[in-house]
Structure 1
Amino acid sequence: MHGLHLTADLRGCPPQAALFTDPEALRQRCLHEVRCCGLRPVGELFHRFAGGGGVTGVVLLAESHLAVHTWPELAAVTLDVYVCNFGADNSARAEALLAALEAAFSPVDVQRQRLQRGGA
């Protein structure tokens, strides 16, 4: 049950980027970054909200999950990366995934949180 849970709130992102409103573009980028960081996707779901809304996406990982929520009307994104460290320490992979996705959205401001889960 030991793991690392990372979140980031991104503000001031260029909302015209396809990642904000195109679920397939966001899906492809997320899966690419997950694999590049050495994590293993086992499923995913991406949904665009009607009326010019953003996209919510989830990638289920063998190690746990990635969740992304975009708000083009606010030029904002939230990222959530959780990895279990059962059998191997995946913390560096989680950090790399979060950093890669933050960079993809080019935010002006980032607020991060880090939570060690399953402590003694």
Structure 2
Amino acid sequence: MHGLHLTADLHDCQCGPQWLIDGPALGAVCIKAVSAAGLQAVGKIVHSFPATPQGPGGVTATVLLAESHLCIHTWPEQRGVTLDVYVCNFGGDHSAKAHALMECLISVFQPRHSERNELRRGQIAA
């Protein structure tokens, strides 16, 4: 059950507003990024939240991967995004693909500042 879990908190994103508020557009770019990274999408759920007094609602996009998952949450009123990429490394090391997916998505949002974390999960059986 070993794998790699990457997270990123993106602040002051300079991307076009569609990437923060347009669920179908964000879902499509997620699928494209997954494929470009060499991972396999097996399902997708995208939920757009209603507008609030602070502005347009954000989006949560989740892509179920054969290798595990991708999840994105946007906060357009803060121009913020959280990214979560987890890949299982059972049967092969997908770590480079996880990093490629994360880099692709970060480039979409164009943050001025980001905080990234990397967690190695589980143990490799000897």
Q: TM-score, normalised by structure 1?
A: 0.97
Q: Residue 66 of structure 1 aligns with which residue?
A: 70
TM-aligned CA deviation for residue 2 of structure 1: 0.6
**Percent identity over the alignment?**
52
Q: How many residues align?
A: 120
- Which of 108, 114, 118 aligns to 1:114? It is 118
CA distance in 2, matches of 1:3, 1:112: 17
Regions of 4+ moved over 4 Å: none
TM score, norm. by length of structure 2: 0.92
Cα–Cα, structure 1 residues 92 and 15, in superposed 2: closer, same or farther, change >3 Å? Answer: closer
CA-atom RMSD in angstroms: 1.0
Distance in 2 (alpha carbons) for counterparts of 1:118 and 1:15: 35
Q: Secondary structure at the match of 1:73?
A: coil
Q: Which residue of 1 aligns with 2:47?
A: 47
> Are 1:101 and 2:105 matched, yes or no?
yes
Q: Tell me which residue corresponds to 1:80.
A: 84
If you compute each CA radius of gyration, which structure gives the higher value, 1 or 2? 2
Contact 2:14 2:112 in 1 (8 A): no
Equivalent residues of 2:87, 2:95 under 8 A apart: yes
Q: Distance in 2 between matches of 1:15 and 1:84?
A: 30
Q: Which runs of 5+ in 1 are unaligned?
A: none
Provide the secondary structure at the position in 2 that maps to 1:58.
strand
* Structure 2 portions without partners, runs of 5+: none
Q: Cα distance, 1:17 vs. partner?
A: 2.2
Q: Would the aligned equivalents of 2:15 and 2:108 in 1 still touch at CA under 8 Å?
A: no
- Partner deviation per Cα, 1:65-93 (whole Å, 9 max, x = no partner): 00000000011000000000000100000
